[in-house]
Structure 1
Amino acid sequence: MERATTLIDLPAGPVEYRLEERGPRVALMLHGGHMRAALPLGEEVFADAGCTVLAVSRPGYGRTPLATGAAPDRFADALRDLCGRLGITSLTAVVGQSAGGPTALTLAARHPDLVERLILQSAVGLLPWPDRRTRVGAGIVFRPRVEPVTWALLHTLMRRAPGLGLRLLLPDLTRRSVTELLSALTTAQRAMLLELFGQMRAGAGFANDVRTMTAPHHLDALTAQAARLRQPTLVIAARDDGSVSYAHAQSLSNAIPNARLITSTAPSHMIWLGDDYPDIAATITAFLTRQPH
């Protein structure tokens, strides 16, 4: 699953990215927590539509340091510079997944001349996130000196005791019972999750996400930016998401003037594993070709 990436020095600092060129249309991927540019997730629909995929590691993840822009507005400006350096003058879509949602929204609001469309998938919205239990837990297991050990243990579990590893991680992703969720997974889906979880890392990024997205001034700024958005926007979320509640999607669709909310039947945060994802993918493909107003 892991793919080669490039590190570029920008005025704001280093940014790790992966560029897979296919055509003139470009989709920028902003992944969520514990993810980085080297790990593709949910990109197939854009590749199948002939889009060039530009994936970046957000600050604190992969090889992008926090100093490049710990706050979404600073990193949004760095992304503008990155596109300029790569000769990209227009982004067909900016895709914000989970904790990558606020940066995607901020980029669209701050640089409307660059961003044509916005797609938010299981995205953190205009409400405090995460909940208190997750904040407390993250403060323990993702402290700088503890985080490498935490993920090393989880990676070992995924290899040696995959069933136990999934049972440890899946409760944070679903509102359903883990037994029900595991029984619904196909062999391919189970293998995909094991590979993905076996390569994730938090770095300094997840702790920064938690600090940023619970700050009142961040929520106020994000709400104001959402109201200014004029790009067509898709907000996609599942009611059974146990990581980012469905209320976040509702907050986004209510605040963004030109937003459409699509409710996934996926049994967890991972909308790509829902039975209705082929229909959602078709909607995304049509959205990518629709003329933006």
Structure 2
Amino acid sequence: MVEIIQTKKGLLEYRSEGNGPVVLVLNGGHTNCCSPFEHEEFFLGKGYRLVIPSRPGYGRTPSISGRTAEEFAHTLSSLLDALMIDKVIVIGISAAGRTALHFAGNYPNRVTKLILESAVTCEAWPDSRTRRGALIVFNRLSEKFTWALLRQIGRYAPDLFLKLLLPALSSLKADEVIKSWDENERRAVLKFLLASRSGAGFLNDIKHTFDDFTQITVPTLIIASTYDKSVSPENSIKAAKQIKGAELMMIPAQSHLIWFSKYKTEIENKIAEFIQD
């Protein structure tokens, strides 16, 4: 169920599914609360409740609700207050990694576990070329046309669509990545990518920062692919070294989209083990 809520820190769109202990899911760039979350069935099947906000600039959450990662961390705390939720497991995906880290660092008493997946942490991100390109193709005026064009290509020439996007997601050749997916995975990838919109959110994301890992005292699991081109694996490796007691799971998934791979079950088994400890 998608709702809009006015918190003490700002307006926020979110989706809530299921009942039980709460998992706060922070989706990555070009997504909102309605974007496919590939672990949804996994968590709901294990009796968890998912609370998935649209981060500032995405969906119907305005940028003013948290232009920086730390500002939005405070808004998230206000959301939990409004929903009368005390503690959560936090999942930070891709560009939401720094928000997840700020939330865990500022509110350790509200976080039971922290999971980072393909997440941006401390490394410079994105690279200067991507940053310059983002200012052109993903600004507030152009992003709707960028994604409209890509969706048209995706509907009529799906393999071309994938080949256009995969060089930004994987260090492997696009054909190799496509061949690694079975038909269900390929359909899921297309569904996920075709649902993308940037709003004002992505230009917020590329300005986020985080540099103080001493703040992170909660149990942390970090999962990343060795072939991730979008977010350098060094983000995960350095974070694991600097967060006391952090567990690092590096897998040879063929792209940044680690959930769309033959390693999905292995990832979810590791998550199950981690959250049950």
TM bin (shorter chain): over 0.9
CA distance in 2 between partners of 1:18 and 1:143 (Å) = 25
Q: Give 1:155's match in structure 2, choosing from 151, 154, 169.
A: 151
**Unaligned runs of at least 5 residues, structure 1:** none
Q: Give 1:67's match in structure 2, choosing from 64, 68, 71.
A: 64
Could you say which residue in structure 1 is the equivalent of 2:183?
187
Cα deviation 1:130-167 (Å, max 9, x = unaligned): 01121111111112211111011111111121111111
Cα deviation 1:36-79 (Å, max 9, x = unaligned): 00113232332232110010111011111100111111111111
CA distance in 2 between partners of 1:280 and 1:88 (Å) = 27
CA distance in 1 between partners of 2:101 and 2:234 (Å) = 17
Deviation at 1:277, TM superposition (A): 2.5
Could you say which residue in structure 2 is the equivalent of 1:6?
3
Could you say which residue in structure 2 is the equivalent of 1:112?
108
Letter in 2 for 1:233: T
When the two structures are superposed, what TM-score results if normalisation uses the length of structure 1? Answer: 0.91
Matches within 5 A, 1:224-243: 224=212, 226-243=213-230
Letter in 2 for 1:151: W
Q: How many residues align?
A: 276
CA distance in 1 between partners of 2:32 and 2:74 (Å) = 19
In the alignment, is the contact (CA less than 8 A) between 2:185 and 2:261 conserved in 1?
no
In the alignment, is the contact (CA less than 8 A) between 1:265 and 1:275 conserved in 2?
no
Is 1:253–2:221 an aligned residue pair? no
- Percent identical across equivalent pairs? 39
Is 1:99–2:86 an aligned residue pair? no
Could you say which residue in structure 2 is the equivalent of 1:39?
35
CA distance in 2 between partners of 1:27 and 1:184 (Å) = 30
Is 1:129–2:125 an aligned residue pair? yes
The CA RMSD over aligned residues, in Å, is: 1.2
Could you say which residue in structure 2 is the equivalent of 1:281?
268
Deviation at 1:182, TM superposition (A): 0.9
Is 1:29–2:25 an aligned residue pair? yes
In the alignment, is the contact (CA less than 8 A) between 2:223 and 2:249 conserved in 1?
yes
In the alignment, is the contact (CA less than 8 A) between 1:264 and 1:277 conserved in 2?
no
CA distance in 2 between partners of 1:104 and 1:155 (Å) = 30
Letter in 1 for 2:266: D
Is 1:51–2:58 an aligned residue pair? no
Is 1:19–2:7 an aligned residue pair? no
CA distance in 2 between partners of 1:198 and 1:276 (Å) = 22
**Unaligned runs of at least 5 residues, structure 2:** none
Q: Which moved more, 1:159-168 or 1:120-129?
A: 159-168
Letter in 1 for 2:32: R
CA distance in 1 between partners of 2:78 and 2:140 (Å) = 29
Letter in 1 for 2:102: T
